[in-house]
Structure 1
Amino acid sequence: MRKLILAGLGILLIAASIYGAKKIIDSKNKPKPVQEKVVKTVLTDTVKNTTVKIVVPANGNLMAKQRVELYSEVQGIFKSGNKLFKPGQKYNRGEALIRIDASEYYASVQAAKSNLYNSIAAIMPDLRLDFPDVFSKWQTYLSGFDLSKTTPKLPEMSSDKENYFITGRGIVSSYYNVKNLEQRLSKYNITAPFSGILTEALVTEGSLIRSGQKLGEFINPSVYEMEVAISKTYATLLEVGEAVQLNNLDHTETFKGKVSRVNGSIDATTQTITAYIEVKDDSLKEGMYLEANLDAKEEPNAIEIDRNLLLESNQIFIVKDDILDVVDVKPVYFSDAKVVLKNVPNGTIILKKPVPGAYVGMQVKAADNS
């Protein structure tokens, strides 16, 4: 009897274990909850091919179109004038910039001129006797000879005999010696070649100036040029006289310029060509940094989009029946933020902003552009 009871308890225990195990297994096979599919909303745009104006950005510093570096060709003491030789000082055309003391050299010039005068006066009796037909013109020349003025040009020789006679007396060589001295005397005064302003002064009044010494810089502040480097791709597109818009760094001021010159050679290192933009404005200063926008060309049947929308394989995403797809395109120009594309059919719906994690076949929903 005891064995029967124990056997019955064992059977019940086994049955209970099987039932509990079955319940545990059934509880693990419950179906997982179905997650709701998220459809991203994207910004789109409809393609409409037009003529895109390609604008090439460039930048550089302004330099005066007319500038002169002042050097001394003679030696002497810098004499003070009506204006101080200081940066920022304005001078009119023909006004003396620098006057160097030339009293000693002036005396030697006057002595040479006096010797020339005496040499001509000494031959006048011989001219009266041997060359009476040319005596009058040499007499007129001698009468008009003024030591305080520039030496006048010698009379024209009318015959070989006259030429031999005048040259043999050393008058021609004396004349050119005087003209050489007068030419050097003019270098003691440096005058302004144009109306402008002194931007650099390296000497002061009273100081000793030596031959070959740099004295300063003088510019015309009314006209400036900016040198810019442009890709060789647009070397044939730039034309002299083409209008250019320039801006300062803050884009608070706009200036109008024009292409004044284009270099005929390409830099072998950078493969760029140098263009010079001329600009006039009273508010401009030398050394000012400006940005220029050059109208290089017009590309027909093209669109312009953000660069980050172009894939590495020269493709862009399009939206077709709320599904993302790609289409091949032809880039024709890249700027810092934009790219100009061709071969995109009109009416194609493209992305206006990049979508993170986008892939072909991805389901999207176009946002209301309004």
Structure 2
Amino acid sequence: MRKIILSIIGVLLIILSVLFAKNLIANKNKPKPVREKVVKTVFVDTVVNGNVKIVIPANGSLVAKRRVELYAEVQGVFKPSNVLFKPGQKYSKGQALIRIDASEYYASVQSAKSNLYNTIAAIMPDLRLDFPDVYQKWLAYLNGFDLNKSTPELPKLTSDKENYFITGRGIVSSYYNVKNLEQRLSKYTITAPFTGILTEALVTEGSLIRSGQKLGEFIDPTIYEMEVALSKTYASLLKVGEPVKLNNLDKTETYKGVVSRVNGSIDATTQTITAYIEVRDESLKEGMYLEANLDAKEEQDVIEIDRNLLLENNQVFVIRDSILDIIDAKPIYFSDTKVVLKDIPNGTVILKKSVPGAYAGMLVKPFKNSENNQN
């Protein structure tokens, strides 16, 4: 039985060997497939050097150019008024923003003014006898003295004797003490320095206001500034008065601005220079985020292409006799999507769109309807 099994296995091995040999002979006689040469069709552009205006993009939020932080210099109770002290409330120039109760302090001011009046009145007999030439002017001063109005300026002292006499009676020091009290009394009323709008209110009517307490913020809503940080490369290009185009993030609204100020120093940390763009428009609000395009300068004899066409080591693909080649280029300016190049000869045929897997020596076919005009 064992001999029969070995015989069968031997016959099977012989048959398999014959079949394998026939298969090898058949494959050897088959011709090898010819690999087709693939020629990619590419979009090309012919270089025509010209002038390209360098536009620097920047962005930032608007801040009112004229803004005032309101602080109290005196203490008292916030008196109610016809106009509520609330955010969004408009005030005209000179209109009272806040009135603090000053009845107690006002009484002390009136007392000081009365003392000054009495002191001057007490010396009038002496002036009439010893200084008859100045008596009339001091009499006129007393007649024009009104306790309900601001204290008038003292008559001008014309001689040393008069000066010694008036100063010796303490009239000059009393006068300046009264003026100091009147000056402080004026701080119980805070008026609008310009026509504007209240953007922040930290107190309400009837609350106790303390000296040094912040009360709110007041801005002029007709003029705004946007602060932008630009590379130090453009420090010498920015000029005050240059027009600037601005737009919102949705690109639905455009505004006209102007460079109002340029910082004289460069930030040592970021190596940027700060410029301020002034813009006026009734629809603008403080805090709005805008994009600006600043016209820096105009470069001559350059072209502008997509950034993805610039290779490493500042090189670009060119086409010579349907074969890709690489030449050097000199980048002048980079934007988000474009790059401005110099030193590329006129008439040079370059790629208009990037080609995946492109390499020097690659065989290509220019697209017939490709526009041979510089973008």
TM-score by length of 2: 0.92
**What is the aligned partner in structure 2 of residue 295 from structure 1?**
295
State the SS of the aligned residue for 1:58: strand
| Partner residue, 1:230 | 230
Q: 1:105 to 1:27 in 2, by over 3 A?
A: closer
Equivalences for residues 51-200 of structure 1 within 5 A: 51-200=51-200
Structure 1 moving runs of 4+ over 2 Å: 20-27
Measured after TM superposition, the shift of residue 357 of structure 1 is: 0.6
Amino acid at match of 2:120: I
Matches within 5 A, 1:198-277: 198-277=198-277
Query: CA–CA distance in 2 between the matches of 1:319 and 1:215?
Result: 70
The change in CA–CA distance for 1:100 and 1:31 in structure 2 (over 3 A counts) is same
Q: Distance in 2 between matches of 1:181 and 1:141?
A: 20
Tell me the amino acid that sits aligned with residue 161 of structure 2.
Answer: K
* Structure 2 letter corresponding to 1:324: L
Q: What letter is aligned with 1:233?
A: T
Which SS does the other structure have where 2:311 is aligned?
coil
SS in 2 for 1:38: coil
Distance 1:305 1:23, change over 3 A: closer
Distance 1:242 1:159 in 2: 60
Moved more, 246-255 or 34-43: 34-43
**Residues 286-335 of structure 1, C-alpha deviation per residue, up to 9 Å, x if partnerless?**
00000000111111100111111111111000111111001110001111
One-letter amino acid matched to 2:330 = K
Deviation at 1:369, TM superposition (A): 1.5
How far apart are 1:29 and its partner, in Å?
4.1
Q: How many residues align?
A: 355
The answer for the alignment partner of 2:279 in structure 1 is 279
Specify the SS of the correspondent of 2:127: helix
Q: Which residue of 1 aligns with 2:45?
A: 45
Q: 1:288 is matched by which residue type in structure 2?
A: M
Aligned AA (2:138): W
User: Counterparts of 1:176 and 1:73 in 2: how far apart (Å)?
Assistant: 20
Task: Report the alpha carbon displacement of residue 25 of structure 1 after superposing the two structures with TM.
Answer: 3.0
Identical pairs, percent: 78
Q: What do residues 102-134 of structure 1 show as CA deviations (whole Å, max 9, x unaligned)?
A: 000000000000000001001111111111111
Task: Give distance in 1, aligned partners of 2:252 and 2:95.
Answer: 37
Describe the SS at the equivalent of 1:339.
Answer: strand
2:369 paired with 1:360:
no
Q: Quote the offset at 1:22 in angstroms.
A: 8.0
- Structure-2 separation of matches of 1:90 and 1:21: 103
CA distance in 2, matches of 1:106, 1:24: 121
Give 2:56's aligned amino acid.
Answer: V
- Partner AA of 1:94 in structure 2: G
Distance 1:178 1:273 in 2: 50
Could you say which residue in structure 2 is the equivalent of 1:9?
A: none
How far, CA to CA, are the matches of 1:252 and 1:177 in structure 2? 61
Partner residue of 2:28?
28
CA distance in 2, matches of 1:27, 1:216: 93
Ranges in structure 1 where 5+ consecutive residues have no aligned partner: 1-16
1:349 aligns with 2:349: yes
Distance 2:207 2:323 in 1: 84
Note the alpha carbon deviations across 1:160-202, whole angstroms, 9 max, x for none. Answer: 1111110000000000000000000000000000000000000
**SS state of the match for residue 57, structure 1?**
strand
**Structure 2 gap segments, 5+ residues each:** 1-16
In 1, the alpha carbon distance for the partners of 2:194 and 2:252 equals: 32
**Residue number in structure 1 paired with 2:337:** 337
How far 1:33 moved relative to its partner?
1.7
Q: Which SS does the other structure have where 1:318 is aligned?
A: strand
- Provide the rounded CA distance (Å) in 2 between the counterparts of 1:23 and 1:244: 80
CA distance in 2, matches of 1:34, 1:326: 30
Partner-residue secondary structure (3-state), 1:175? helix
Task: Calculate the aligned-residue CA RMSD, in Å.
Answer: 1.6
- C-alpha distance in 2, partners of 1:307/1:297? 20
Q: Which residue of 1 aligns with 2:9?
A: none
Give 1:26 shift.
5.7
Deviation at 1:27, TM superposition (A): 3.6
AA aligned to 1:238 is L
Give, in whole Å, the separation in 2 of the partners of 1:202 and 1:260. 32
When residues 172 and 26 of structure 1 are mapped into structure 2, their CA distance, relative to the original with a 3 A threshold, is: same
Change in CA separation of 1:363 and 1:147 when aligned onto 2, cut-off 3 Å: same
TM-score, normalised by the number of residues in structure 1 = 0.93
Q: Distance in 2 between matches of 1:215 and 1:21?
A: 102
In 1, the alpha carbon distance for the partners of 2:316 and 2:105 equals 81
Report deviation, 1:35: 2.5
For residues 92 and 22 of structure 2, what CA distance do their matches in structure 1 show? 111
